[in-house]
């Protein structure tokens, strides 16, 4: 059983974070918070013309994530009921850093911080890490048309921003699962090893799981 009640599973595009969140929720029960990314009306346009639609895309995600988490907080006691989310709210700021220019990011950062102080941080932050090559394979395999244009250089920039965030926020309990050589969906042994790792207690800081 998990040692923590409010757990976030995040990762780059195509890492398998939502799949893993669903698997944990199904096995352990509890409440599941899934990002409604397909509802973002700007997302397909962003992939086609990122410079033109980045700000609208990130603002929509910011507001949507905030509303979803606030509604969950109103309904649940996150620290006394198991809740698993497939995103951390700070994801909005991290992707904005990757996608917005200087003035746009400065404005976004101000708005983000107005929301951020209103939300709790996870007790355990699980980051599913895959290299850009593996991510591209996964993206191609799942076949979402608008994602097929994503470049390895973009995925690598997002990865770098996440790890910079990890280094600067040592108060968080962060478990990085290196998943290039894992198939936790089809290989029950891989899933069991991950499950064993995430049900342990962790001190604040970065912890790596390499199997």
Query: Which of the residues are catalytic?
Result: 86
Render 8-19 in DSSP notation, one character per residue: EEEESTTS-HHH
CB within 8 A of 15, min separation 6: which ones? 128, 129, 130, 135, 138, 179
Interatomic CA distance for residues 32 and 18, integer angstroms: 10
Contact 116, 70 (CB under 8 A): no
Nearest to 166 by CA among 94, 105, 117, 101: 94
Which backbone phi and psi does 84 adopt, to 5 degrees? -120, 125
Bridge partners, residue 171, by sequence: none
CB atoms within 10 A of CB 210: 11
Measured CA distances, 176 to 31, 108, 158, 198 (Å): 22, 27, 15, 10
What is the token pair recorded at 28?
A: 């352990």
């Amino acid at each position: 059983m998990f040692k923590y009640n409010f757990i976030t599973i995040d990762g780059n595009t195509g890492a398998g974070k939502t799949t893993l969140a669903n698997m944990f929720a199904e096995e352990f029960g509890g409440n599941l918070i899934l990002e409604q990314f397909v509802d973002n009306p700007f997302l397909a346009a962003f992939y086609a013309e990122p410079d033109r639609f980045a700000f609208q895309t990130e603002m929509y995600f910011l507001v949507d994530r905030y509303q979803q988490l606030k509604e969950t907080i109103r309904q649940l006691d996150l620290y006394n009921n198991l809740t698993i989310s497939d995103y951390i709210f700070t994801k909005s700021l991290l992707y904005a850093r990757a996608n917005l220019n200087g003035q746009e990011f400065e404005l976004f950062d101000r708005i983000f911080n107005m929301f951020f102080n209103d939300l709790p941080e996870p007790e355990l932050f699980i980051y599913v890490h895959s290299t850009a090559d593996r991510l591209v394979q996964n993206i191609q395999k799942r076949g979402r048309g608008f994602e097929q244009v994503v470049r390895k250089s973009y995925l690598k920039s997002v990865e770098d921003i996440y790890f910079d965030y990890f280094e600067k926020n040592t108060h968080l309990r962060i478990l990085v699962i290196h998943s290039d050589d894992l198939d936790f969906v089809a290989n029950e042994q891989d899933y069991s090893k991950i499950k064993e790792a995430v049900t342990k207690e962790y001190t604040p800081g970065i912890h790596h799981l390499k199997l």
